[in-house]
Amino acid sequence: MRRRVITAFLAGSVLTFGVMILIGAGGTVKSPTGTAPDRYAYYPGTEHLDKDEIRLIACGTGLPAARRDQAATCFLAELGNGDKFLFDIGTGSAANIAALMIPYDFLDKLFLTHLHTDHWGDLATIWAGGWTAGRTKPLQIWGPKGATPEMGTAYAIEHFLKAYTWDATTRNFFLSAEPGKISVTEFDYKAVNAVVYQKNGVTIRSLPAIHAGDGPVSFILEYAGLKVVIGGDTFPNKWYIEYAANADLAIHETFLTPQDLVRLYGQSPGQAIAVGTQIHTSPQAFGKVMSTIKPRHAVGYHFFNEQATHDNILRGVLQTYTGPLSLAVDNMVWNITKEKITERMIVSPDQAWAVNGPNKPPKPPARGTVPDPISDFIKAGRWQPAEQAQATMVEQFKKENGLQ
Ligand SMILES: [Zn+2]
Ligand SMILES: [Zn+2]
């Protein structure tokens, strides 16, 4: 690569003979009407994915407490064969998913590592939001069994749907009920490197994790000879060490330092040392995991990532690991092939609309086939001047669209 000294758009730099030489991001803009190469940004929906390529997107990397800058855990894997898999859907992450402008029909497969809200808190949003915005079929969820049935994924989803009875009942009158359904495939959380999904050249495996109670797991995604490990919440465990070894890209949590848990997260020192080093992974322990399994690229996440916390975590990690590393924030994206792994940031709209997929929306139920959830008493309260005020507009719209 030719080295150029430029003053703006710095993608990287090298120190040579004591002089900082700046490497341009993407070559030269040759005329005032030319286009600027953008090798450091990913604009969703604008890039072809090669057959043997994986695009992995961080849609949530934060914590259970809300922060506008960072949603809770969610990773989206997009594969060159067209398959897409969501891993966790933590609170707030659905807005980041929406900004990718992927038709909801392509976002129907969700794998849950465990049932803490910061890993499935936005299920409601993709369930009902996707239902109203173009998904034509049920959601499919894979998740671990619990030590008892009520601690498992199937129980959680059954009762999730019960909790949203009013939501579903009222939508079912106007929309097809089909996209509001959820199928659940449960698997044994104790099974080691067990196949939980296999189709179209994709294998997804599960590993036990050590976190807060029995049930949590991590996932391994295998595709086109590539191995991506999506670590759920866990203290470093022997299964991850054995089966995540030599991963192309290995994600593992690295938690806030105990000092920062006290300073910034309002925890007592006793809580902080237990949370930060017993049920989660400290930066030093994360580094030890990565220097042991030696992935081509390591990704740490699960902390509010700002200058101070980032630097404190990095200092801890560097005590035990100095290999390729991303300390993830939301909207970080990795393109993974046999040849190279590229980390970039996504540039996406704050005001994204849903994008139509190839499937026509299923027909709403015929009148009379689903009980009307609005009673005559409530209907009789409709204010007539409002009906009159909109009558011409309604009439015109119906005429234009051939409606009765
Ligand atoms: Zn958790
Ligand atoms: Zn968590």
Q: Map residue 280 onto helix, strand or coil.
A: coil
Give the Å distance between the CA of 116 and the centre of ligand 1.
Answer: 5
User: Which of 296, 281, 305, 385 is closest to 334 using CA atoms?
Assistant: 296
pLDDT at 37 over 90: no
Give the Å distance between the CA of 42 and the centre of ligand 2.
Answer: 27
pLDDT at 357 over 90: yes
| Phi/psi-derived region of residue 20, left when phi > 0, alpha when psi is between -120 and 50, beta in every other case | beta
pLDDT of residue 404: 83
pLDDT of residue 36: 80
Write the DSSP assignment of 349-393 as a string of letters. -TTPPP---SSPPPPPPPTTSS--SS-HHHHTT--HHHHHHHHHH
Residues 189, 378 contacting (CB under 8 angstroms): no
Give the Å distance between the CA of 185 and the centre of ligand 2.
Answer: 22
Each residue's pLDDT tens digit, 180-214 = 999 999 999 999 999 999 999 999 999 999 999 99
pLDDT at 270 over 60: yes
Give the Å distance between the CA of 24 and the centre of ligand 1.
Answer: 41
Give the Å distance between the CA of 194 and the centre of ligand 2.
Answer: 22
Each residue's pLDDT tens digit, 103-141 = 999 999 999 999 999 999 999 999 999 999 999 999 999
pLDDT of residue 25: 55
Give the Å distance between the CA of 230 and the centre of ligand 1.
Answer: 14
**H/E run at residue 77:** strand 74-79
pLDDT at 7 over 60: no
Give the Å distance between the CA of 73 and the centre of ligand 2.
Answer: 7
Could you tell me how far CA 241 lies from the centroid of its own chain?
24
pLDDT of residue 337: 98
Q: CA of 289: how far to CAs of 183, 216, 366, in Å?
A: 35, 18, 57
State percent of the chain over pLDDT 70.
94
Give the Å distance between the CA of 209 and the centre of ligand 1.
Answer: 10
Q: In whole numbers, what is the pLDDT of the chain averaged over residues?
A: 93
Each residue's pLDDT tens digit, 141-173 = 999 999 999 999 999 999 999 999 999 999 999
d(CA 38, CA 58) in angstroms, rounded, equals 20
Tell me the CB-side half-sphere exposure of residue 11, using CA atoms within 13 A: 16
pLDDT of residue 26: 64
Kindly identify the ligand whose nearest atom is closest to the C-alpha of 303.
2
pTM, two decimal places: 0.92
d(CA 32, CA 23) in angstroms, rounded, equals 21
Token reading at 99:
């900004």
| Domain ranges for the chain | 1-28, 42-346
Task: pLDDT band for 6, please (50, 70, 90 cuts).
Answer: very low
Ramachandran angles phi, psi of 202, nearest 5°: -115, 130
Q: What is the mean pLDDT of the segment spanning 64-82?
A: 97
Give the Å distance between the CA of 118 and the centre of ligand 1.
Answer: 7
pLDDT at 2 over 70: no
Give the position of tokens 């996209």. 179
Classify domain 42-346 by CATH architecture: 4-Layer Sandwich (3.60)
Q: CA of 318: how far to CAs of 142, 278, 324, in Å?
A: 35, 20, 11
Give the Å distance between the CA of 211 and the centre of ligand 1.
Answer: 7
Give the Å distance between the CA of 212 and the centre of ligand 2.
Answer: 10
Kindly identify the ligand whose nearest atom is closest to the C-alpha of 279.
1
Write the DSSP assignment of 37-56 as a string of letters. P-TTEE-TTS----TT-EEE
Give the Å distance between the CA of 78 and the centre of ligand 2.
Answer: 22
